[in-house]
Amino acid sequence: MYVIAGLGNPGSKYEKTRHNVGFQVIDRLASKYHIDMNTKKHKAICGTGVIEGVKVLLVKPQTFMNLSGESIREAVDFYKVDPETEFLVIYDDISLAPGHLRIRKKGSAGGHNGIKNIILHLGTQVFPRVRVGVGEKPEGYDLADYVLGHFQGDEKKLMEEAYDRAAAAVAEILTDGPDKAMNDFN
């Protein structure tokens, strides 16, 4: 079992905001691989299925972003997966241009509160991640208002393409490992 978590905030108020790109990628994976996201457990909406021959649990934590680690910890413990090799997280990154991807095998939270909470709950920074760029906060904007805002204009098309590329990157991580995906998608 491989646990794949996409970060976001629950509720229609937050749908398709910058902070919810992780949910968008999970939705792409669920659609492409015919995985029903209809199970509520581990403080999340989950779906079990197979991606490119690998059994997976897709997870959309419903704890709100800053408490994502609570949900992730429950899933990781329940399935007894090693966070360093059988867990992957997808989330938004304001330090990347809209639509750009950055895959890493480990790293700090980089100021992302959802990742900070996951690191706290897992007790390690060593786990693969797919960061999806949402663009830098404009001068004078409040960070929370920015990441909870919606994409505008040309950004929408860029992000739709990014969700597909991020889903392809996840599939490649599962089949060929993060190093190959880093070479192909970074």
Binding residues for tRNA: 14, 64, 66, 113
Report CA-CA distances (Å) from 175 to 22, 40, 52, 85, 171.
20, 27, 7, 12, 6
* 17 Cβ contact partners less than 8 Å away, ≥ 6 residues apart: 8, 9, 147, 148, 149, 150
Q: Is 19 a catalytic residue?
A: yes
**Which among 101, 88, 87, 92 has a CA at the least distance from the CA of 20?**
92
Annotated catalytic residue: which of 19, 100, 112, 121?
A: 19
- Residue 36 DSSP class: -
Residues that constitute the known binding site = 14, 64, 66, 113
92-107 as b/e: b if 16+ CB within 10 A: bbbebebbbbbbebee
Catalytic residue positions? 19
